Amino acid sequence: MNPRKHFSLFAQGICAWAVFWLAGLPSYYQQYSLVAVAIASIFLSVAISLAAIVVLRRGRAETRLARAFWLCVYYTIPFAALDAWYCGVYLGHGPSFLYKYWYLSVFYVTPWLTFIPTALLLREEDPHPKTRPSPAI
């Protein structure tokens, strides 16, 4: 990937975090019941899984795994860093924010458990994988 694409993914990750932050106001989803947050998390997980299939099927098959890796990087690390700043520092929860806001912490890991395996499964599914020509004898 070129630097422009890296910056674009980084900016998308920051914007996605900002949208989730705004949607969670005033108490960053603490105002909802445990059941409601759990159900919303399940629906979001399903949506992420479906998005992984759609996004990774686009483009060249030989770049799927690399794209999956970079999508995971830019959609988890900035989220975790911004949540650590907002919940851990600004709201004063420290490292305990990982437990208190479990519904955020889960999504620092789940993209890695979704996108990478999906890329590998789609590679297995590819009917015309690129193969090297056999050496001439």
Does the structure show a pLDDT above 90 at 104? yes
Number of domains in the chain: 1
What per-residue confidence (pLDDT) applies to 59?
77
What per-residue confidence (pLDDT) applies to 79?
96
Average the pLDDT over 74-79 and give the result. 96
What per-residue confidence (pLDDT) applies to 137?
55
Does 79 reside within a domain? yes
What per-residue confidence (pLDDT) applies to 65?
94
Does the structure show a pLDDT above 80 at 131? no
CA atoms of 65 and 59, how far apart (whole Å):
11
Contact between residue 12 and residue 51 where contact means Cβ atoms under 8 Å apart? no
What per-residue confidence (pLDDT) applies to 108?
96
Model confidence pTM above 0.95 = no
| Residue 124 confidence class, pLDDT cut points 50, 70, 90 | confident
Q: Which tops the pLDDT comparison, 51 or 132?
A: 51
| Residue 135 confidence class, pLDDT cut points 50, 70, 90 | low
Does 82 reside within a domain? yes
Does the structure show a pLDDT above 80 at 66? yes
Does 56 reside within a domain? yes
Does 80 reside within a domain? yes
Does 94 reside within a domain? yes
Does the structure show a pLDDT above 70 at 114? yes
Does 57 reside within a domain? yes
What per-residue confidence (pLDDT) applies to 128?
57
Q: Which domain holds residue 87?
A: 31-125
Does 78 reside within a domain? yes
Q: What does the DSSP assignment read for 77-133?
A: HHHHHHHIIIIIIISS-GGGHHHHTHHHHHHHHHHHHHHHHHHHHHHHH-SS---PP
| Tokens coding 21 | 């932050």
Does the structure show a pLDDT above 90 at 132? no
Does 110 reside within a domain? yes
CA atoms of 122 and 113, how far apart (whole Å):
14
